[in-house]
Structure 1
Amino acid sequence: MNKKYLHNNKEGGYAVMTALLFFLASTAAVVASLSDGALREVHVVRNESFSKQSYYASESAAEDAVYRIKNNLSIDSTEMVTVASSSASVSIVDNGDNTKTIRSDGDVGGTKRTTEIGLNVGTGLTIDYALQTGVGGVDLLSGVDVIGDIYTTGSINGCGGCSISGAAIAAGTSTLSLDQSNTTPDPANQSIIFGDSTNNQDLSQSFVPSTDLSIMKLELFIKKIGNPSNATIKITKEKGGKPDFYNPIASGTLSSSLVSTTYTWINIPLTAVPVLESGDTYWIVIDANANTSNYYEISANTGYVNGQAKIGRGDINNGWNNTSPSGLDAYFKIYLSSADVGISGEDQYNKMSVGSAYARQVSFVNATGNIYCQIGGNNNKPCDESRSDPVFVGLPIALDAIDFWKSEAVSGTTTSGNISVGSTGSTLGPRKIVGNLSVGSGGTLRVSGTLWVTGSVTINGGGTVTSADSSKSFVIISDSNISLSGGAQITGGTNHHIMLLSTSSSDPAVTINGGANDTIASAPYGGILFTGGAAVSAGIANHITIDGGADVVYSSDLSQLNFSSGSSGDTFNIESWKETE
C-alpha cells in the first residue's frame, strides 16, 4: 500500500510540472505578442510625431522664403532653415518667365514632408461682383442680363426686362447734394503751399455740415510742384479746436499721379461714408510728406464763413498754425447724401428679376430668394427685416494699385506720340505711351505688359486685343476716355484677362458698344456705358449704365485675379501652394 501511494504522488508531480511549463510558455507567448504590438504602436506614434515636425519645418521654411522674396530681402537659391529642433532645406528656382518655384523639404528622423509654392510677378486683385460701383449706382435699361452679383454704395435701378441672376446689394443712393464748398473766385486770388517743409507739412480745413447726412464725396482744387509723394486724406471731428488727427472717421488717398501741374478738381474716394451731424465742426486733413522740391499748392480765399484753414504738423502737439496771410480757406467741395433708397424696378407692371435683394428700400422686384429690406413695396415677397442696412464696401481698385501699374509701364519703354495698331498687328508692353492708342483695321494688339496711355484708347474696325501669354492677365490704363465699338473684340479666358481702366472722371469714361466678349472695364472716378449687345466679364466704376441688350457674365476666376507686369524685378504674388510629399 505504501509503495503504491508513493508511486501515485510521483506521477502527480510530473503532471503539475508539465502544466506549469505549458502555462509559462503560453504566458511568454502572450507577453511577446503584447510587447510586439506595443513596440509597433510606439514606432507608429514616433513616426507620426516626426511627420508633424517635418511638416511644420517644411511650411515654416517655405513661409520664410516667401516673406523674403516678397519683401526684397536677401535669400540664396538654396537655404537651410532650422525650426526648433527640426530643419528644412529650401530651393528657389527662377523659371525665367516672371515666376519662381519654392521647394521646401522637411526631414525629421527620416520622415520627409515637402511644400511647393509658385510665385508670379504682378498685382493681385479680388473682384467679387459682376458689377460694383460707388455712389453713382447702377442703371439697367432695356433687356439687360447680369449673370452674377451686383454691389453698389448707390442705388440699383432696373427695368421689366432686366434680370440679375445673383444678389443685388445697394448700400446707399445715387443722389448727391453739394452741402459745403469754397470755389470762387476762379482763378483764386490766394493759395496755400504745403508739403514743402516740416513746418508746413500738413494742411487742414474745417467745415460745418448743414444737415445730418453721410459724406459721400470730397473734391479738392489743387496742383503739384515737382513730383510729390501721395498724401493721406482724413475726415476728422474737432477736438480742442483742432482736428482729432489720430481718430479719422473716413480716409482716402491724394494720388500724386492724378494731380496736374495746373489747378484741377481732384475727387478723393473715401473708405467710409459716416453720417455727419449738422452744426458740428469737422476737418479735412491732408497728411503729406515734406520735400523742398516736391510739394502741393491748393487754391484759397478768405470767403468761406463756416471754417478755417490751418498749416503745420498734425502728428505733434500744438503743431497747427495760422495760414500766411492769416484767415485763408482752401478750395474744396463736400457732397452729402442719404442712404435710405436702394433697389427698384421700373413700376408695378415692369418688375426687375433678381436672385435676392438687400437694401434699405426695395421696390418693384421679383426675387427667387430673400428680399432683405426695411421698406418694401410692390415686390413678390415681403421684407425680411432680420438684417440691418448693407455695410459700405470700397471699390477693389485702390489708388496705390493704379500707381503701381503705372510704375510697371514706365519700367519698360516710353513712347512719345500716338500709336496705331493696324492690320499687321503688334505686341506691346510694358510701355508708357505719351499720346493716344488706337487698334483697328482688323489688327490684333497682343499685350505683353502693363500699358499706360496718357491720352485716349480707341478699339474699333474689327480690331482685337488679347494677352500675349495665355497664363497672364494685363492692364491697359488711360488717363482719358476708352472706347470700344465696330465689332472690336477683347479675347481672353481663365487666368488671362485684359482690364481696360480709365482714370478719367467723365461719365462715361469707358464706352463698350458691341463686341468685347472678355474684358474687365473699370472707371473708378467716372462712369461706364455698356450698350449695343456688348458682352463683358465685369465692370467697376463710380456709375454704370447698361442698355441695348448688353450682358455681363461674371467669371469665377476673377475672385483671384493677378495682373502681370511683363517686366522683371517687381512684386511677387502667390500663385499656388501645395504639399507634394
Structure 2
Amino acid sequence: MKLKTQNQEQVRQKTGQAALIAVMLMLIIMLSAIFGASSVALKEAKVAEENKKSKLSFFAAEAGLEDAVYRLKRGKIVSSSFSILLNGATSNTTVTSAGGRRDVYSEGDLAGNVRALNAALLNSDGVSFYYGVQVGDGGLEMSNNSTINGNVFSNGSIVGSNGTIITGDAIVAGGINTNPSLEWAIQNSDNFFATATGNRDITQSFIANATNKLNKVAVYLGKVGNPTSNITLRINTDNGNKPSTTSIASATIQYTSVGLTPGWIGVALPSPPNITNGTKYWIVLDYGSNSASNYWNWRKDSSDNYLNNTGKYTSNCCSGNPVWTNVGGDLAFQAWIGGVNTKIDGLTIGNASSGTGRANLFVNTTIHGSACPNQYCIVENPAREEMPISAGLIQDWKDAAATGGICVQPQCDALGNLFLSNGASANLGPIKINGNLTLSNNATLTVTGVIWVAGNINVSNNCNVRLSPSYGSLSGMIVTDGTVRVSNNCVFSGSGTTGSYIMLLSAKNAPTSDVIEVNNNATGVIYYASNGRIEFENNAAAKEAVAYGIDMENGATITYETGLANINFSSGPSGGWDINSWQETLPQ
C-alpha cells in the first residue's frame, strides 16, 4: 500500500513537471512571438520615420529647385547659392552659368537623410538680321572701293563714290523726321494686359496734327514672364470715342524684340495709311491669348492729362461689338506723320546678271549692269525697317551681366579697368566692368557670359575674342555704354558650333558720332550701334553691321552670312528660360 502511494506521488510529480515544462515552452514561444512582432513593428516604425525624413528632404530639395527656376523664368534676382528651411529639413541650392544655360542643383537634408534634384534651363533671345548692313535714319556713306557682299537696307540715303559696290540688293526707305510728329511720352505707372480674357487687347487714341501718311509708331512696352506669341499692332478708326473694328494699317511686334525692361518699341507700318489732320485714331495692340504669368506691360501716365484722349482695354478688339473699359490713364506712344526724301547715289549694285535697287530717287547709279533708269532701278517709297534690338532688351542683357558681379582687383585695377596684353588670357562673364576693357598684343578673351562694359572697349594687335564652347549653337555679346575701337588683325569667333557668333554692341546715344571704329583686318564679328555711327576703314571686315548710320572707307568689306537671318543670343531673363531637364540625382 505504501509502495503504491509512492508510485502515485512520483507520477503526480512527473506530470506536474511536464505541465510546467509545457507552460514554460508555451511562454517562451509566446514571448518570442511578441518580441518578434515588436521587433518588426519597431523596424517598420524606424523605416517609416526614415521614409518620412527622406520625403521631407526631397520636398526641401524640390522647394529650393522650384524657387530658383521660378526666379529665372520670371526674371527675378536669383543668388548663385542659397538655403531654405522647410519642415525641419534644409535645402542648399546652387545656380551655375554656362553660356545660355543655367544648371540648378538642390540638395535637401534632414538628420542625414539626403535627397538631390537638378534642372537645366536654356535661354535665348531671337534676333533676325536679314541684311549684310542695316542702317537707320543716319544713312550709309561708302567711299574708296568699299564693298558690301550681301544686301543693304537703309532708312536713310545711301551715298557712294570711287568704285563702291553692293553685290546684292539695296533698299532705301522713305525717310521720316528725326522727332515724332506727336507723342504722349510720360509713363509713370505699369499697365498690364493679356493677364485675363477681359483685357487681351489694349488701345490708345490720338488726334492727327497733319494730313499725310502715318509711317511709324512707337509704344513703351515691356513683358512679364515669357509670352511667346507676337502682338499685332493696328491703326483703327474712331467709332464714338472708341476704336472701330476697322483697321487701316497693321504690323507685327515680334515677342522676342521686347524685354522685361520696358522701353520704346518702334514699329514701321508696311503700308502707311493716309490720316487726316484733326481726326481721332487708335493704336491697338491685339493679342490672341492671356496668361496669369506671361503677359505684357504698356506703361501709362496715370494722370490721364492727354486732352480728349485716353487708353482702353477689351477682350476682343476687332470683331463683333467689343466693350471697351478705360485703363485709368494715357498709354505712352509716339507717331511720325509724313517724311523726307531719300536716295541712292553714286554706286554700283549687283553685276551684269543680278542686283535690284528700290528708292525714292537714283542718282549716278548702276544696277544690274547698266546705268539707271532701267527696270531694276525701282522708284518707289519702301516701308521702313526698325532696329532689330530694342533698348529694353539691351537693358536686360546688362542686367544679366550684372548678376555675375562687378570686376574688382586683382582682375581689374582700382579704377575698374581690365587690361589683357602680351599673350595673357582670361575667361570672363557674366560680369560688369565699371571701367574700360583693353585687349592687345596677342591677348585672348574667352566669353563665358554677357559682359557689360561701362567705359570704352579697345581691342588691337592680333587679339582673340571667342565664345566658350558651352554656348553651343547660341551666340553671345559684349555690351558697352561707351565706344568701341577694333584694329590690327583682331579675330572674333563663336563657340565653334555652326551658327554661333559674337556681337559687339555700343549702347551710347550719339547719332552723329562714330561710336564703333573698325579697321585693319578685324574679322568675324557682328557690330551693333542703334543710336550711333559705325566707321569701317582699311580692309576691315564684319559678318554683320547694324547702326543708326554707317561710314565705309578705304576698301572696307562687310560679308553677310545667310545663317544670320535667325540668330539666337544667349542672354539673361529677357529671352525666357525654358526647362530642358528636371530630375532626381545622386547627392554630390
Provide the TM-score with structure 1 as the length reference. Answer: 0.58
| Matched ranges for 1:511-550 at <5 A | 511-515=516-520, 517-523=522-528, 525-533=530-538, 535-549=540-554
Query: Which residue is 2:275 aligned to?
Result: 277
User: Which structure 2 residue ranges, 5 or more long, are not aligned?
Assistant: 1-97, 102-121, 408-415, 581-588
Query: Which residue is 1:383 aligned to?
Result: 374
Query: Which residue is 1:422 aligned to?
Result: 420
Q: Would the alpha carbon gap of residues 398 and 290 (structure 1) be closer, same or farther in structure 2, given more than 3 Å must change?
A: same
Aligned residues: 425
Query: Which residue is 2:324 aligned to?
Result: 320
Amino acid at match of 2:131: Y
Q: Deviations over 1:540-579 (max 9, x none)?
A: 4352321442612315464577557499x9799xxxxxxx
Query: Which residue is 1:259 aligned to?
Result: 261
Pick from 498, 502, 516 the counterpart of residue 498 of structure 1: 502
Query: Which residue is 1:166 aligned to?
Result: 167
Q: Deviations over 1:406-454 (max 9, x none)?
A: 49966x9712245624126444365243745613243634334442427
Bigger relative contact order, structure 1 or 2 (CA pairs below 8 A, ≥6 apart): 2
Query: Which residue is 1:110 aligned to?
Result: none
Query: Which residue is 2:243 aligned to?
Result: 243
- 3-state SS of 1:359 partner: strand
Q: Would the alpha carbon gap of residues 491 and 485 (structure 1) be closer, same or farther in structure 2, given more than 3 Å must change?
A: closer
Amino acid at match of 1:354: I
Provide the C-alpha distance between the structure 2 equivalents of 1:512 and 1:550, rounded to a whole number of angstroms. Answer: 15
Amino acid at match of 1:176: N
| Matched ranges for 1:2-401 at <5 A | 127-134=129-136, 136=137, 138-143=139-144, 145-176=146-177, 178=179, 180-182=181-183, 191=188, 193-195=190-192, 203-209=202-208, 210-218=210-218, 220=220, 232=231, 234-238=233-237, 240-241=239-240, 242-243=242-243, 249-252=250-253, 257=259, 259=261, 266-270=264-268, 272=270, 274-279=272-277, 280-285=279-284, 297-299=299-301, 304-305=306-307, 308-315=309-316, 318-324=322-328, 328-338=329-339, 341-345=342-346, 352-355=347-350, 356-367=355-366, 369=368, 380-384=371-375, 389=380, 392=383, 394=385, 397=388
Provide the C-alpha distance between the structure 2 equivalents of 1:97 and 1:297, rounded to a whole number of angstroms. Answer: 32
Contact kept in structure 2, 1:476 and 1:500, CA below 8 Å: yes
Q: Would the alpha carbon gap of residues 258 and 432 (structure 1) be closer, same or farther in structure 2, given more than 3 Å must change?
A: farther
Q: Would the alpha carbon gap of residues 233 and 193 (structure 1) be closer, same or farther in structure 2, given more than 3 Å must change?
A: farther
- 3-state SS of 2:405 partner: strand
Provide the TM-score with structure 2 as the length reference. Answer: 0.57
Provide the C-alpha distance between the structure 1 equivalents of 2:165 and 2:149, rounded to a whole number of angstroms. Answer: 7
Q: Would the alpha carbon gap of residues 274 and 490 (structure 1) be closer, same or farther in structure 2, given more than 3 Å must change?
A: farther
Question: Residue 234 of structure 1: CA displacement?
Answer: 2.0
- Please give the root-mean-square deviation of Cα atoms over the aligned residues, in Å: 5.0
Contact kept in structure 2, 1:250 and 1:274, CA below 8 Å: no
Query: Which residue is 1:431 aligned to?
Result: 430
